[in-house]
Amino acid sequence: MDVVRSICLDVFGEFDQLKIENRLGGKKLFLQVAYDQEIPVGFKLGYALENEVFYSWIGGVAPDYQDLGVATLFIKRQHEWCLQNGFKSIQTKSMNQFPRMISLNLNSGFKITGTEVGADEEVKILFEKSLES
């Protein structure tokens, strides 16, 4: 979890370990970490919502390593892992302040399925991608 903490602080300026532990407890997880030599430069973390539905939750790439295809590779590997593990769809959320993530989701085959207002009053855009052919 130290790697996730380090990158979250670098990318988002915050890290809430208790929130992460509460969210992930007892769930089937998939965590990817990218390194430059021995330095962690990005991560992508998700978990099973249901037997056939995976939730791509949080991730980030250090500013100096953005625009190098790291996030695209994370999504590709995550989708491959989900297929190999019997998931039929992937859900995720984003917000207007993350236009690059919105674009990446759309370019990766996600469809916008709606919006919701979170506890923090932020509007979240809901995405889903079917993994079935």
Q: Identify which of 77, 7, 1, 66 has the alpha carbon closest to the alpha carbon of residue 40.
A: 7
Range of the domain at 42: 2-130
Tell me the CB-side half-sphere exposure of residue 4, using CA atoms within 13 A: 17
- Amino acid of residue 132: E
pLDDT of amino acid 20:
82
pLDDT of amino acid 43:
92
Pairwise CA distance, residues 130 & 53, whole Å: 9
- Tell me the pTM: 0.90
pLDDT along the chain (133 residues), means of 10: 79 80 90 94 94 94 93 97 97 94 97 94 96 84
φ, ψ dihedrals at 105, nearest 5°: -60, -50
Alpha-carbon distances, residue 32 vs 3, 16, 56, 59, 102 (angstroms): 10, 19, 11, 9, 20
What CATH number corresponds to the domain at position 79? 3.40.630.30
pLDDT of amino acid 18:
84
Structurally, the chain folds into a number of domains equal to 1
Burial of 119 (0-12, 13-18, 19+ CB in 10 A): exposed
